[in-house]
């Protein structure tokens, strides 16, 4: 990773709220010439209803309408539904993407927005997210193409750090549960852990059942891996 990515990842590690992740990302996208960011996630289930969760870096009219779902039928959202490749737009009168729906282009420009970049990320759980970024200036397609590699990296890091913070926010392991996971990570068996902590094996297994239930994991090994990923251990 280059210094820009390292600095960004260092800041992301400090994020404890979903909004923190997006706010940190906004600092990064500003260094690339964009100004506003939003992140929209769709839960994969239930199939009969698409639950949308949106975060934005401002509370202006454009972002309020985005959160209300008013742009869901726009050319931007339709393109994001169709591909995981990055999409970009200049936002001028001749814009090919937004020009597919002239009334939207006019509305979008009236809100002070011009050029933008966005990408869809879908992970192995089926969770889909849109990372949308725009600015008040018109950028050339060359400019937008030049920042695309860094923007793709940002889109992926925002998605997975949002999931990390979201998962961690719902998990609260006790001191004893963290101790047991740490010893498991060191290769200790249930019998070993029981002896080390002065517990019965049935009590250790009881704690393991609670741990796996909290983390939503099928076995002890995956529980240790997920706990490490979520920074839940010491």
Q: Strand ranges (DSSP E) for 5-141? A: 36-42, 52-56, 87-89, 116-122, 128-134
Scan for tokens 């009881």, then name that residue.
Answer: 206
Look up the domain containing 210 and give its range.
Answer: 175-229
* Average confidence (pLDDT) over 77-100: 93
Mean pLDDT calculated for residue range 182-200:
93
Residues 17 and 112 in one domain: yes
The answer to the question of residue 58 being in a domain is yes
Statement: residue 45 has pLDDT above 60: no
pLDDT tens for each residue of 109-124 = 999 999 999 999 887 6
- Per-residue confidence band for 146, with pLDDT thresholds at 50, 70 and 90: very high
**Is position 234 within any domain?**
no
In a shared domain, residues 129 and 189: no
User: Which has the minimum average pLDDT: 60-69, 79-88, 168-177?
Assistant: 168-177
Question: For the chain, what is the domain count?
Answer: 2
Both 24 and 137 in a single domain?
Answer: yes
CB neighbour list of residue 95: distance below 8 Å, 6 or more residues apart: 89, 105
Asked if residue 156 is part of any domain, the answer here is yes
46 pLDDT band (50/70/90 cuts)? very low
pTM above threshold 0.95: no
Q: What is the mean pLDDT of residues 193-222?
A: 90
Residue 119 lies in a domain: yes
Spatial separation of the C-alpha atoms in residues 67 and 96, rounded to whole Å:
25
Q: Is residue 112 part of a domain?
A: yes
């Amino acid at each position: 990773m280059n210094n820009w990515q390292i600095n960004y990842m260092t800041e992301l590690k400090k994020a404890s709220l979903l909004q923190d992740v997006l706010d940190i990302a906004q600092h990064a996208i500003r260094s690339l010439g964009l100004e506003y960011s939003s992140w929209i996630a769709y839960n994969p289930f239930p199939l009969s209803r698409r639950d949308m969760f949106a975060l934005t870096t401002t509370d202006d009219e454009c972002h309020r309408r985005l959160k209300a779902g008013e742009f869901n039928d726009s050319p931007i959202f339709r393109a994001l539904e169709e591909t995981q490749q990055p999409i970009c737009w200049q936002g001028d009168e001749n814009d090919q993407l937004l020009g597919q729906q002239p009334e939207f282009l006019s509305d979008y420009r009236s809100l002070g927005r011009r050029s933008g970049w966005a990408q869809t990320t879908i992970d192995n759980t089926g969770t889909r997210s849109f990372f949308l970024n725009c600015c008040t200036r018109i950028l050339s397609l060359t400019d937008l193409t030049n920042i695309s590699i860094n923007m793709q990296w940002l889109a992926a890091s925002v998605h997975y750090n949002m999931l990390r913070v979201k998962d961690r926010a719902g998990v609260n392991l006790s001191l004893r549960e963290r101790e047991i996971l740490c010893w498991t990570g060191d290769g200790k068996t249930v019998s070993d852990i029981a002896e080390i902590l002065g517990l019965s094996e049935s009590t250790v297994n009881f704690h393991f059942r609670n741990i796996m239930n909290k983390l939503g994991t099928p076995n002890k090994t995956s529980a240790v891996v997920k706990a490490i990923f979520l920074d839940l251990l010491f």
